[in-house]
Amino acid sequence: MTAAPAITVEVVYARPDRQDLVTLTLPAGATVADALDQMAGRAPFAALDLAGMPVGVFGDRVARSRPLVHGDRVELYRPLAIDPREARRRRASGRSG
């Protein structure tokens, strides 16, 4: 009898001062939602609104129903501190912050 195939993925959340990264082993066919379910209640992700946060895999936003493959990196995206257009305007005018 052989064990069901498994995949290994990373779940990452980048904070301004550090990056939180957890490696998970999931059954083959697992989705982004399955990975997030595994993270719910687990430090340091317990304080995050995992249901409402935008998510991606390797920098591309994806639906939570997206199947994962071995080696995927699930990324949790935090809200922007400032609109990118406003940041460009400030840089162009020489103002910061």
Residue 91: band (very low, low, confident or very high) from pLDDT cuts 50, 70, 90? confident
Query: What confidence tens digit (pLDDT) does each residue in 58-67 have?
Result: 999 999 999 9
Domain of 77 in residue numbering reads as 6-93
- Does 80 map to a domain? yes
The CATH number given to whatever domain includes residue 86 is 3.10.20.30
Query: What confidence tens digit (pLDDT) does each residue in 65-80 have?
Result: 999 999 999 999 987 7
Length of the chain in residues, anyone?
97
- Does 1 map to a domain? no
Task: Answer whether residue 97 shows pLDDT above 70.
Answer: no
- Does 14 map to a domain? yes
- Does 67 map to a domain? yes
- Domain total for the chain? 1
Task: Answer whether residue 56 shows pLDDT above 90.
Answer: yes
- What is the reported pLDDT for 2? 61
- Does 82 map to a domain? yes
E-strand spans in 15-69?
19-27, 55-57, 60-61
Q: What are 22-28's contacts with CB under 8 Å, separation 24+?
A: 26/68, 28/4
- Does 20 map to a domain? yes
